Structure formats: structure tokens, C-alpha cells
Structure 1
Amino acid sequence: MTSPFLSLTWTDHLTGRRGFLVVDRLVRGVCSGGLRMRAGCTLDEVAGLARGMSLKEALHYDPAARYVPLGGAKGGIDCDPRDPEAYGLLVRYLRAMRPYVESCWTTGEDLGLTQDLVDRAVAEVGLVSCVQAVHPLLDDEAAARARLAAAFTVEVGGIGLDELVGGCGVAESVLTALDRAGAAHTGARVALQGFGTMGGATARFLTRAGLTVVAVADVKGTVANPAGLDVEALLAARDAHGAVDRGALRPGDRELPDDAWLSVEAEVLVPAAVSYAIGVEEQERIGACVRWIAEAANMPVTPQAETLLHARGVSVLPDVVVNSGTNAWWWWTLFGDIGADAREAFAHTRRSMRALVELVLTRAEADGTTPRAAAHAIAEQRLPVITHRFGTYGSGTYDSGTPRRA
């Protein structure tokens, strides 16, 4: 693994708290990766996430598409997003990172932050957009920006399209794995950790596909019902951080401890909250009926735990594949592969994610390895192809040898 292109640590002069930015690689002078805020965030964590973004971008490379994958990056701030000082810290961080946002780093919401909050802080800092670094690469910047802005106004069932596409991708990944195994959707049980943007949307799409959500964990603990939770009622009762109002629970719903979601009887686990949620100790608590773990969060399963789970016959569907739909949707929309339409977005996401998961699982089966190893192998094959075609700073060439406009 090569060293990142750029790695820096910022210290806030008012609070002493730290923030990080890691640019793993550039393509055409630009990189992509969200900004997270959580207590305990570290430079190593951000570096791992940035590398994951490079792999996600490469996995979605389609030579025929308008969207050309960017490099990978990630930002992080060591602070509890519920802290009264969090927003001011976010603004100061973005002010310090302004040169990078202007020139090379496109970013957006990640763990602990909403897109609305990021957009508000970006405007306060005086930036045009959190993705303005990509604007020079667009054929028609005004039309592209208008298309993306319109897409962010689309709502489906009271939830924004931007909040739903990632969960649509996670759900399609799970459904593809079930279909390959010949497992029925109806009756398949799901337990989720995290009920925010990604977890909530995943629960909605899986439920509508016939699966039964039997447990949801949030910051208050786990809510479970072996007969199935009312996902739509829980979505309507959650706050901005994904915490569910317990007043919305039905008589058959039980309140359990935080980590009880690990041990409920379910075929599918979806960690959709924090990194490192399933380590060696946690994997011991996972029941024998679990067959798949879909990483809706970034890096939720540690390498050691994944090795043990693989030996037990549990397939970990990796984050670089499973949760890549949100990032891809931004670029499909901005570059013009799809319009500001929910049906088109969901259809494109389902089609792309199913093809990608099929490719990864087929490679894993052929190589006798894990889905993660297969995904990484595919991405590592594509990265030099992308660099050769488009260049680190936009000086690459098309396959025909025609110079690429920067």
C-alpha cells in the first residue's frame, strides 16, 4: 500500500481539539471523501477511510460513463457532534481547510454530520460549495450545479433522496447476496446498528423488499421485536441523530442493552453507525444463524474479527462496495449520468450496485477468498488504469492517446 498523497493534523486554537485531512490520491487534481465528526476520531482512522474512498471510486469506474472516478480523501474532527461547541469547531475546521476545498477536496456529510449542517458551515466560511473543486471538470457547470441542487430537493416518503440512495445501495447489496445463495427475501431477518441516514434508509428498502427488521440499535440502546419492528413508525419518530423516541414503540417491542443487536436471531446484520463496532469479542456474540454482515458504516468490522467470521461461514460484504452508493450518486447526478429524479436514481443505483456485488462475489468465489479481498483486488487493478487514462493532475490521456482536458 502506497503512502497517502497528503496527511495533515489541525489543532483548534480555541479548544485544543484536533481535526484531520488525508488525501489518499488525486485523479485529475481532485479527490472525494466525506467529513466525519466523532469523539475519539484519529488520523489513522481518517487515513484508512481515505484509502477506502480511493477503492470505492475505482470500483465504480465505467469507461462509458460521464462520471470519471476521482481520487480518495477523508476529513475528520475529534469531537462529539452533540457538544455545544461542535458547530463552531466545524466552521473553524472548514476555514482552515478552505484552500483544499477550493482546489482539490470535494466533501460532504459523514458520521456525526448532516449535509444541511455541512452546507451551512460551508456557506459561513464563504465557500461556493463543498464540491466546488470538481466544478472545473464539468462540461456545463451551471447545468450540473442546478441538476444536483434539484436532486437535493427531491423527497420520497418524507425523506430526502440524498438520504435514501445510500441505503438503497446497501439494501441492493444484501438482496444480491441473498439471491446468489438462493435465500428467500420474505422471512429473512435483519438487525441494524445505527438508524440515521444510512441505517434508516437501509431498513426501509429491506422491509419493502420483504425482509423483517427485528432489531435496531441507536444511542439509547436496542429496540427489538422478533415478529418485526414497524420501520416506518420508527423512522417518523427519530431525531436528527437517528435516536428513536421510545414513546413510538408498540407493546411487543422490547428495549434491550446497546449491544444486544449483535445476538438477536437474524440472518443479516447491518452495522450502520461507528467504525470498529465488531471486534474479536463482539463477533463471539453473533449467533449461528447470521450468514451476512453488510457494512453500511465505514470500517465497522475489524480485520481480526472478519477472519474469525469468515472461518465461521459468515460473509462480510465490505464497506468499499456496500456503502459506496451515496458517493456515486453525487457524481452520477453532477456529471449527468442521471437526472434529478428519484425513480431514475434508484434504478441506476440498484443496477450498478447489483452488478458490482455480483462481480465481487464471483471473484471471491473464484479466488477462494473473502469479498473484501476480491473487492480490493478489483480496485487495485483499476487504479493504475484510471491514473494512466486521466493522470494525477489531469494530464493523463484517453485510451486513444488524445490529451485529456484538465
Structure 2
Amino acid sequence: MSKNQNKTGAYSFFNCIEKNFDKAARFLSIEKGLLEQIKACNAVYRMHFPVKMGKEIKVIEAYRVQHSHHKLPCKGGIRYSMKVNQDEVMTLAALMTYKCAIVDVPFGGAKGGIKIDPQTISTENIEKITRRYTSELIKKNFIGPGIDVPAPDYGTGEREMSWIFDTFLSLRSGDVDALACVTGKPVSQGGVRGRKEATGLGVFYGIRELCNVKEDMNSIGLDIGLIGKKIIIQGLGNVGYHAATFFHKAGAIIIALAEREGAIYNEKGLNVSKVFSHLKNTGSILNFPEAKNIENTEKALELECDILIPAALENVIHKNNANRIKAKIIGEAANGPITPEADEILEKKGVIIIPDIYLNAGGVTVSYFEWLKNLSHVRYGRMEKKFSENMNAELLQVIETICKKRVSTKEKKIILRGPREIDFVRSGLEDTMINGFHKIRDLKKSSKIENMRTAAFVLAINKIIDSYEKLGIFP
């Protein structure tokens, strides 16, 4: 067993990324020293600070890692978890660098983490910790609209981002671009509509694009399109929930949903909205009336299906279960759900894997839109909406005159509606995910690369090298 593996044979998350990077390096004629620079984290800020919680003073451990400065600002979420450690935050920061490069979002990768369990801490104390963490970042110049822009991640959301913004504004009063210091904020505080579902929607767009490529579908014996495709989703957090909803609406059949406590299965399909109502009411997906329970959640991954979407933890597909995976497509909605050894097994079986460093980039893409909105100080659609409605009205009037037929009030309402902010956001996200998919696929074919993951890493590294050369950093 390798020193980089645990007892089950699964690689550490950090080493999985390194192995994938090294595979991609074989296809690049780049000096080893430059590759090492891209792999290395540029700045790691580890901090300990005291916070008074009730009658006690607790020392909080926290991190902010800036992986790459080839583009500024750096960008990445902040997670609250007892599992937070330096290696994890460094790995996630590196992933952010590659994700941003692939989808042409002009940020360097970053990540933050605070080692706490938000489920066991009062709202008042979470706010204290968040504000103190922000002030520590400000002291070291690790946050700012042009420096480093955090976002939500595991254990955080709009509430924490609003506290970060408020703290930054109080210590940097007069900064007209202060809104852009953090993304994932409530819409009332400069957030953008469509941010919550962005990662799940990006997963949907990426998999849908693959399913529309006839050549790829023929290679695995499937028809084009999503209608009728049997899907299993593991993980019903923000990403899994929204992905399931969009696939269900598109006509795919969600046959199984898996969570930590177990999974539920119905070969004919699950009604996603009913499942989530059941989850909300009971606190578990188990014992859903229209499905049967599967006690071992890992067994749900091994069921017959067309598409498997792991949207929870890393290393859930490993050398011990990869041979039993029956899916023809795996969409990595989570970070690092497949180990390098499992990758090789699945590749030999002909499974198409859509890699995490592309597929779950929807969140950072829409965060980029929010950042731009904050810097421009203009809501998306404010200047275009009424103009579009007026143009549509004139066009409709011409058509009605020529055709001598009136359009119904209901149809007219649909035709005349100008684009809203969420329409611009979703349109931009869709275009980004489609372009990213085809760049990876085209590179894979032209360079005869064995799989999409390696092609995605090659694409990311090339873009980063190009940025460094334009900056004149490398000789």
C-alpha cells in the first residue's frame, strides 16, 4: 500500500490532485520547474484567534490559502467544519485555480476554512467567529475586491457572507467597491439571483451537453438527449438537490437518491419534489412511501443506471467498488469523488467521466457574475429590460399587422417579457459550461488524450502558463 493511501486503499484528496496533474504533464512540453510553480500554493495563512463564547474563551483554528496569483483577485469559498485542515484547504485552493482557468473566469484559486462545527454553535457565536476571521484576513491583506474574494462553501451561506461584507465595510469605510469583497451574499446586499442553484445547474448543463453529442452516446450505447436517462444522485445538499430538480424537469428518470443514512430506490423514477418534502418533514429520505430503502448508501452507487452523479464526498468510488459500478456516465458534482486507481478501472470499462474541475465550476462562474455586478454598480437587466420589451412590442405589432391575426394575452405576455437578472445569469452560465465542455472534448480528440479529466488538466495548465507568459513572469 502506498504511503499516500489509507487503509481502504483510497488516496488522500491532495494526492489525487497531484496524480491527475502529473498525468496531464506528460502531454505538455513545459519545463519541470514551471510545472512545480503551478502546483505549489503561493501563500498559506494559518491563524489562531480567541473568541469569547459564553463564559469561556475559545481559541479558533482557521486558514486562508491563495494557490495562484497568475490572475487577481484570488477566489474561493470558506468552509466551516471540524475536518478542516491545511492540506484540505490547500487542495481545494488548487482545484479552484484549475476550475477558473477551464471556464475562463479570471481568478486565481483560493480557499478558506474554520475548524468549527456550526451545528453545535449558537448563531451569536458563529457571527463572532466569522467577523473575527474577517478582521484577521483584513490585517494581513488577504481579502479585498482586487485581492481575494471569498464565497460560501460547506457549512456557510448567505448569512456568513453578509457578516463578512459588513465587517469589511466597517474596517474599509469609503471603499466604493466594498460589495465586491465577497460573493454569495443575499440579493438585498448585492448578491446575484441564481447563485444558490448555480453549481447544480452547471452540473446539469455539463452532463446535458455530453448527452447531446451523438458520437459519444454511440460509443456507450445510449441515445442522445436526457429524456428517459436513468440517473442516481449521491448527496442531497445544495448541489445534489438542484441537480436532481433540473434533471427531473428535463425528463430524466431519477431512480435513486443516496444520503449518509442510506438510499431510496424506485426503478420507475422518484418524484424529486415529493422526496424533498418527505426529507424536510422527517429529517431523512428513508421510508419514502414510493420507494424502497437501501441501508448501505454505497450500494446505491452500484445499481444499474445510465448516469451516476456523486455530489457529496471525495473518494466514494475507489479500487474496491469501481468494478461494480454499472453507470455509463459519471458526472463529478463533488470534489474528488473518484480515486486515481478507480479512474483507471472505469476507463478500461469504457465509462465516460466528466471531471470535477470542470463540472462543478458553475458556482465560481456565477460568483464571477456577482463580482462584476458589484464592481459595475448596476443590476443585470436594469438598462436592457425595458428596451427589449419595447422592441419586442414593436416587432409583435408588425407581425400581427402582416398576418392579420391577434396574439392572445397569455402569449403576448411571454413574448414581450424582457430579460431579468436571473435570465442573464443562467444564460451566461449555460454558455460558459457548453464552451468549457467542448474545449475539453476537442483537446482530448486533437491531442489523443485518454480521458476528459486529463484533458481538463492539460487545458487548465496551458491557460495558466499563457497568463504567466503575458505577465512576463516566466523567461
Is the CA contact (8 Å cut-off) linking 1:195 and 1:243 kept in structure 2? no
Question: Are 1:318 and 2:318 matched, yes or no?
Answer: no
| Aligned: 1:364 with 2:407 | no
- Match of 2:308, SS state, is strand
Alpha-carbon distance in 2 for matches of 1:264, 1:145: 36
One of 77, 85, 88 as aligned partner of 1:34? 77
Q: How far 1:236 moved relative to its partner?
A: 3.9
Q: Which residue among 135, 155, 158 is the counterpart of 1:116? A: 158
**Could you say which residue in structure 2 is the equivalent of 1:254?**
293
Q: Which residue of 1 aligns with 2:388?
A: none
Aligned match of 2:227: 186
* CA offset digits 1:195-244 (Å, max 9, x no partner): 1111111111111222111111223321222211111223345459x964
SS for the counterpart of 1:278 is: coil
The superposition leaves residues 163-182 of structure 1 with CA deviations (integer Å, 9 ceiling, x where unpaired) of 11221110111111222223
**Identity over aligned residues, as a percent?**
22
Q: Deviations over 1:31-89 (max 9, x none)?
A: 0011123332332222121111111111222xxxxxx6011111123344423378355
Aligned residue in 1 for 2:396: none
Contact 2:162 2:189 in 1 (8 A): no
Letter in 2 for 1:127: F
Secondary structure of 1:352 counterpart: helix
Change (3 A) 1:389 1:146: farther
Q: Which amino acid letter does the alignment assign opposite residue 261 of structure 1?
A: A
Asked if the contact 2:231/2:307 (under 8 Å) is kept, the reply is: yes
Matched, 1:299 2:336: yes
Q: Where in structure 2 are the equivalents of 1:11-160 lying within 5 Å?
A: 11=48, 13=50, 14-15=57-58, 18-27=61-70, 29-61=72-104, 69-84=106-121, 87=126, 89-99=129-139, 100-102=142-144, 104-111=147-154, 113-122=155-164, 126-128=167-169, 149=188, 152=191, 154=193
Match in the other structure for 1:264: 303
Q: Secondary structure at the match of 2:263?
A: strand
State the SS of the aligned residue for 2:79. strand
| Conserved 8 A contact 1:263-1:286 | yes
What RMSD, in angstroms, separates the aligned Cα atoms of the two structures?
3.5
- Residue 331 of structure 1: CA displacement? 1.3
Matching residue of 2:465: 384
Is residue 291–residue 315 contact of structure 1 (8 Å, CA) maintained in 2?
A: yes
**Structure-to-structure mapping, 1:169-248, within 5 angstroms:** 169-180=202-213, 181-182=216-217, 183=223, 184-238=225-279, 244=284, 246=286
**CA distance in 1 between partners of 2:435 and 2:371 (Å):** 22
| Cα distance change on mapping 1:109 and 1:45 into 2, 3 Å | same
Render the CA deviation track for 1:346-371: whole Å, top value 9, x for unaligned: 22212221121122122223323221
What SS does the aligned partner of 2:258 have?
strand
Q: Is the 8 A contact 1:18 1:77 kept in 2?
A: yes
The alignment covers a number of residue pairs equal to 369
Q: 1:280 to 1:71 in 2, by over 3 A?
A: same
Q: 2:184, 2:307 → 1: CA distance?
A: 38
In the alignment, the residues of structure 2 paired with residue 146 and residue 12 of structure 1 have an alpha-carbon distance, to the nearest angstrom, of: 25
The corresponding residue for 1:158 is none
**How far is 1:95 from its partner?**
3.9
Q: For residues 304 and 76 of structure 2, what CA distance do their matches in structure 1 show?
A: 35
Question: Rg bigger for which structure?
Answer: 2
Structure 1: which amino acid aligns with 2:98? Answer: L
1-side partners of 2:313 and 2:163: how far apart? 23
Aligned partner of 1:349 in structure 2 is 429
- In structure 2, relative to structure 1, the CA distance for the partners of 1:43 and 1:305 (3 Å cut) is farther
1:175 counterpart SS class:
helix
Q: CA deviation at 1:29?
A: 4.3
Shift of 1:20: 2.4
Question: Which residue in the other structure is 1:399 paired with?
Answer: none
CA distance in 1, matches of 2:157, 2:472: 30
Q: Deviations over 1:302-359 (max 9, x none)?
A: 2222222212212221111101111111212432596562222222212221121122
1:23–1:74 contact (8 Å) kept in structure 2: yes
* Inter-partner Cα distance in structure 2 for 1:387 and 1:5: 14
Residue 391 of structure 1: how far off its partner (Å): 7.8
Point out where structure 2 has 5 or more consecutive residues left out of the alignment: 1-35, 51-56, 218-222, 382-419
Provide the C-alpha distance between the structure 2 equivalents of 1:12 and 1:214, rounded to a whole number of angstroms.
Answer: 47
Change beyond 3 A, Cα 1:391–1:53: farther
Q: Which amino acid aligns with 1:73?
A: A
Structure 1 contact 8–20 (Cα < 8 Å) conserved: yes
- Shift in Å at residue 90 of structure 1? 4.5
The TM-score normalised by the length of structure 1 is 0.79
Name the SS for the 1:174 alignment partner: helix
* Equivalent residues of 2:71, 2:467 under 8 A apart: no
Any conservation in 2 of the 1:27–1:391 contact (CA below 8 Å)?
no
Q: Which shifted more, 10-19 or 370-379?
A: 10-19
Q: CA deviation at 1:293?
A: 1.4
Q: Which moved more, 1:171-180 or 1:181-190?
A: 181-190
Q: Give the secondary structure class of the aligned counterpart of 2:290.
A: coil
230 and 121 in structure 1: CA distance in 2 versus 1, 3 angstrom threshold: same
Flag the 1:153–1:369 CA change in 2: closer, same or farther, 3 A. Answer: closer
Contact 1:148–1:333 (8 Å) recurs in 2 = no
Q: Which deviates the most, 14-23 or 181-190?
A: 14-23
TM-score (norm 2): 0.68
1:386 maps to amino acid: S
